[in-house]
Amino acid sequence: MIELKVNGRSHNVSADPDTPLLYVLRDELQLNAAKFGCGLGQCGSCTVLVDGAPTLSCVTPIMLLEGRQITTLEGLGSIEDPGPLQQAFIEEQAAQCGYCIPGMMMRAQALLQRNPHASDAEIRAQLEPNLCRCGTHMRILRAVRRAATLMAGPGTPPATRAPSTAGTQLDAPDTDNDAQGDARRRPARTDKRERPER
């Protein structure tokens, strides 16, 4: 048995220690927000937080996670009581098919909880490892900016805009033409596996 702490609750899990966290979340704990995309640590749809850091749950065995704080999208709020990031994504209608959105949101959450005043360039750099095949990048960016404003509290100016970083999937002009985020223009990816330290 391995004890996992997920969204503030402890779970004793009987899966093999080398089972990827994603399978345990979805199959044993019925936490289905994190998605299986590539299963290879390359798309980001399975992103969760481990001790506040974005972590690819499809390539992270549960034996590395005992005593760590795991947060999934379900831990940020509910349909009845959405958290600021979830509220912002709803208000901006940021999802198309929605498959990438939980991973995008968890990666954004990691940034905004350590820096609610993140600049546009910082938001783009943070989200860059995650893929969106529908090309809704500009809506996602707007949603994260909106969430930053909500999380920073009343009287805070909107997240600052800054020149985009070169070479990312999110460096298109900020227009409503979501096709500008076409994943086919994405540069070749390197294997960006993120595993927490033992």
Q: Assess 95 for contact with ligand FES (CB under 6 A).
A: yes
Q: Residue 171 and residue 187: Cα distance in Å, rounded?
A: 12
Binding mask 121-140 for ligand FES (x = CB under 6 A): -----------xxx-x----
For residues 160-179, which are near ligand FES according to CB under 6 A? Answer: none
Binding ligand FES (rule: CB under 6 A), the pick from 26, 29, 33, 41 is 41
Binding ligand FES (rule: CB under 6 A), the pick from 100, 110, 148, 151 is 100
Q: Residue 50 and residue 143: Cα distance in Å, rounded?
A: 23
149 near 158, Cβ under 8 Å?
yes
Q: CA 27: distance to chain centroid?
A: 20
Q: Which window, 32-40, 81-89, 116-124, 161-169, contacts ligand FES (CB under 6 A)?
A: 32-40
- What is the torsional sign of CA 160, 161, 165, 167? positive
Q: CA 39: distance to chain centroid?
A: 16
Q: Residue 148 and residue 132: Cα distance in Å, rounded?
A: 21
Binding ligand FES (rule: CB under 6 A), the pick from 43, 85, 105, 152 is 43
**How many Cβ atoms are within 10 Å of 70's Cβ, its own excluded?**
27
Q: Assess 84 for contact with ligand FES (CB under 6 A).
A: no
Q: Assess 37 for contact with ligand FES (CB under 6 A).
A: yes
Q: Which residues bind ligand FES (CB under 6 A)?
A: 36-39, 41-46, 56, 58, 95-101, 132-134, 136
